[in-house]
Structure 1
Amino acid sequence: MTTTTSPGPLNEECHCQRARHRHGTRACYVADRCRCAACTRANRRDAKLREYARTHGAPPPLVDAKPARDHCLDLMAAGMGCKTVAREAGLSKGVIQRLIWGNPDRGPSKRITRAHSDAILATGLRVTDRYRVDALGTIRRLQALSAVGWKHELMAAWLDMSPKNFSRLIGGRQGHVAAWRARRTVDLYEQHWQGPAGHPGPTARAAAEGWAPPLAWDDDALDDPDARPAPARRPGSHRDMHAYADLLDIGLGADEIAAHLGVSQMRARNTIQTRARRAA
């Protein structure tokens, strides 16, 4: 049986062997071997309650496990691992595992102690650099950068990835990515969306895959799984000739027009000059 009191806050100044304990819980006393005053009191209190329950037949204070289980699943879907959820709640990993997956001989816990439920429901989302988040927005941004000419070897170095792992990521074969890489990709995209100097056009893979360039995307749609890029125009088509005039009227330069239409900057400049000569 566990204590019915709420666990204390995480203590960054803890002098125990392992850091980030949630003091005042028996789990901290047993699993982490914390012997601070709060954890020692919690362990003694639980021992007395277990003895009282044994001698008086008092039932443990159990509650429906579903709210706590749903909260755990939400935290894990947002990037927190099972062990992290347990640590933040001040509980053992086994409690969380049994709550979510159960034991081999039975399903997930149907009822848990009120103390465990309260501790889990009080645990907030804590996403740090090492947590993994959905990779969709990262993949779309990297593909768009590839579509305006940024080499994959360079982007892999930006993200501190091996070429093989980067190829898996940009190809959409990786569902999650470290949170710090997702944030760095957003920053890189905002800095380099116009393409490298002397834009040579899309990389070979971007051209083969038909990846959309940055100007085909609304910035707020890159992370939306239901959003789609604007349809690409075929360079040289009659519709494309009108597109040059439209984009020039908007005020875009040759480099931006090249990125939008998925052509090289040289081709864009030549087309603009040709149109200017014809207009003269």
Structure 2
Amino acid sequence: MSTPTAISPAHTLRGTCIQHPRYVAGCPGCRERARVRRRARYRAAAYGLIDPKWLPASDAQAHINRLTGIYGMSHRQIARTAHVRRQAVLDIAHGIQQHASPRTIAAILNVSPQRPAHTGRVPALGAARRLQGLAVAAYSVRDIARLLDAEPQCVRRWQLHTTPQISVRRHRQIAELADCLDGTTGPSPRAQRQARVKGWAPLAVWDDIDNPSDTPRGYLPWYLTAASPRTVNQRKVA
């Protein structure tokens, strides 16, 4: 029977002090020198003598929102142009990451707006009506975003008509997608129920979907009728 090998304390302790491994967090002298070094670096960064390790990402967040909201750039395109991770761009844009390295912030701020081939902008009402009609046809925001190669939050803004204008390129993509999916049924019954509760109109009831004065032909939302979708479903179950 073999005798178990004794393990020295140096291997069992998580030593951070190389010269004094018997201390778990380092000897008092080493810890004091580390504190002095951290204070010196903090003061040097505050006076601009050295580059700080982390900076507030508020400017980068505002720049990302400007690129996505005004110029229609996607987070994937911004990350590809800045040579940073797409998840880092998403975290900064959504406010999850409040600080970032100076290199990441500088790379994002150096991304110049890249307009599509068609630089004009058109009213977003027609695109919003088409996206709402696709929701009535049981296509969720994620389904539409995947087909358009766009971010789901951008598709949500277009669908809710929170932006008055949209780029010509996006408008044509949405129009082509609506023409292609018109008369089909998507894979999301939940999106269809939510669209009906909101009173959105299907694609087939519009004569001129881009005309602001046009109204849905022969269509009334549930809140203008006697029964709501929930009441109708309860009657069907009964």
| TM-score, normalisation: structure 2 | 0.41
